[in-house]
Structures are given as C-alpha cells and as structure tokens.
Amino acid sequence: MRSIIFGATSKSELVSMNPKDHLLWKPFEDAGYVSLWLNDLCQDYFKMYFAIPNGTVTDHEAVYPFCHYEFNLEKDPLRKTKPVDIEKRCIGDSYIHTYALHYASQFFDNYMDVPKFAITKYIEAHEDSAAVLNTMDDELSQFVKSTMKKHPNTIMIFVGDHGLHVGPFGLSPHGDVENGLPALYTVFPSTFLKTHPEIKKALKHNEQSVLTHLDLHKTILQTLNYPAYAGPTYPVSTTYHQHAQSLYEPIPYSRNCTAAGVPIEMCRCKQ
C-alpha cells in the first residue's frame, strides 16, 4: 500500500519525503475534491504503518463501525484460528463489506455535485481459503453498476497490494507467483475514453506490460489535469522518480523488472 498511497517503495524512501505532502489524494483535495479513506479494520492505519501522528488524513474516515465487538480482527487479522470462518465476517446479520459498501455509496450520493476521491480497503481476501472474497461478488457488482449509473464520470480502480500469500496455496511455488502479481482492474467512463482514444489504446496495450503500483500512483495523479502531471516533486534518488510510468502511455513489452524498479528478489517475470 505504501507504493500506491505515497509513491514510495520503502520506509527509508518515505522518510526522505514529507509523507503528508505525498498522499495520493492531496492534489485532488487541493483542487476541491472531497476525500474518503475507508478501512474495514479497527485500526489507525496511517499511524500504525506509516507513523503519521493524528492519523486522520482525509476529509472522511470510516473505521469506528469495524471496531464492533462482533467483528474485530485486530488480534487475528488472518483468521489463523478459523481460516474458513465465513459467517464471522459479519456484524449482526450483514457481512462486514455490506456496511463498507453502503458507507461508500452514501459518500458518493451525499456529494452528488462535488468531485470525489475515495479509497476503500477490504479485508475479505486476507485469509487462506479464498472463500470469503466470494461473498462480496453480488454486492460489489451492484455497487459498481449503481455508482456508475448515478455518477457516470467516475473512474474505478480495483487493485490488490499483493496476491494470496497464506495457507497451502499461498505458500506454494504457484502461490508465490500470485503473491507477487496482484490483481488490477479498471473501469473508465465511455465518455472519457471517447474523448481520449489514445488512453483507451494505451490501457489495452498495457494489459500485457510489466506494471507496478508506482505506475498506478502516477497514472492517478495524471488523471487530475490530463495530460499534465499534477503530482508533487519526488527526490531524484527515489524509485518513483527513476522508474514510474503512466498507464496512459504505452509501456514497452520489453520492460523488465529492473526497468520497472522491481527488486530482483521480488521479480516474478524472470524469464
């Protein structure tokens, strides 16, 4: 998540910059967007992982509902004791993601005429059975359809910070490959792609290119004032400055891990 949120690949890189100045959504807030961070875990995420004091970094933050006594994974986030315990991913008679998606829908609807930037993070895939994630399918599909109908200019990006990395499959050689190649799906308004056919062409091309979270970070920042880049300045020594490329431009198929700034021990494209 560090690479997506800050454009930094390590703690040392993050320390070399002012983290709050490099938050992905800050340029959007400066341009008048209202922001949301939703994490369906009971934790001060930015203080815990990035040492940002007074952890609220967006206009809206949804955490407290997920501290409910019926659902608090803080002491056992991977459900090691009951890895296939689907029914426990609930508060009352609803799945935890139901509350999260409902909150996200309210956020969009309450700011109907205001530009919005939201990151919603879900814990459903963070267990070794890969069964809990299936419980999201219908409601996530409905959320996408409803949101795109009411807010047709919305760009949606679905991305994992890593693949399945626990359980028998996660610890197998095939699981190791999947862990290093997290999912990435995008939904763009047809009007946006018709206005910018070069982006549609580049996105199609880049389906087969080596991509990183740094590329995604740069792409999102370029969306704000396309084709100009709207992000902050990064130290020349950072991986972001040296390697990040926008997905709005064709990335050569010849790009390898070294060119993308991926350490060789993390590379899953060695052949």
Quick check: 175 and 137 in contact, CB under 8 A?
no
Is the pLDDT at 17 greater than 90? The verdict is no
Quick check: 160 and 126 in contact, CB under 8 A?
no
Q: pLDDT tens digit string along 127-176?
A: 777 788 888 999 999 999 999 999 999 999 999 988 888 778 888 888 88
What is the predicted pLDDT for the residue at 72? 64
Mean pLDDT for 33-48 is 89
Quick check: 180 and 161 in contact, CB under 8 A?
no
Is the pLDDT at 73 greater than 70? The verdict is no
Q: How far apart are CA 154 and CA 39, in angstroms?
A: 20
What tokens were used for 252? Answer: 């050569």
**Alpha carbon of 92 to those of 65, 102, 131, 232, 258: distances in Å?**
12, 15, 20, 43, 49
Tell me which DSSP letter residue 32 carries: T
- By mean pLDDT, which of 79-93, 104-118, 168-182, 190-204 is the weakest? 79-93
Q: How far apart are CA 148 and CA 31, in angstroms?
A: 22
What is the predicted pLDDT for the residue at 66? 84
pLDDT, the chain, mean: 88
What is the predicted pLDDT for the residue at 84? 40
Tell me how crowded residue 110 is: count the other CB atoms within 10 A of its CB. 11
Is the pLDDT at 55 greater than 80? The verdict is no
Q: pLDDT tens digit string along 228-266?
A: 998 898 989 999 999 999 999 999 999 999 999 999 888
Is the pLDDT at 87 greater than 50? The verdict is no
Q: pLDDT exceeding 70 applies to what percent of the chain?
A: 93
Quick check: 208 and 269 in contact, CB under 8 A?
no
- The secondary element (H helix, E strand) that includes residue 91 is strand 90-91
Q: Highest mean pLDDT range out of 54-58, 88-92, 155-159, 179-183?
A: 155-159
Is the pLDDT at 21 greater than 70? The verdict is yes
Would you say the pTM of this structure is higher than 0.85? yes
Is the pLDDT at 64 greater than 90? The verdict is no
- The secondary element (H helix, E strand) that includes residue 229 is none
CA angle 267, 213, 34 (to 5 degrees): 170
Q: How far apart are CA 120 and CA 117, in angstroms?
A: 10
Locate the domains of the chain by residue range: 32-154, 163-271
Instruction: Tell me which amino acid residue 5 is.
Output: I
Is the pLDDT at 77 greater than 60? The verdict is no
Pairing of strands 116-121, 90-91: unpaired
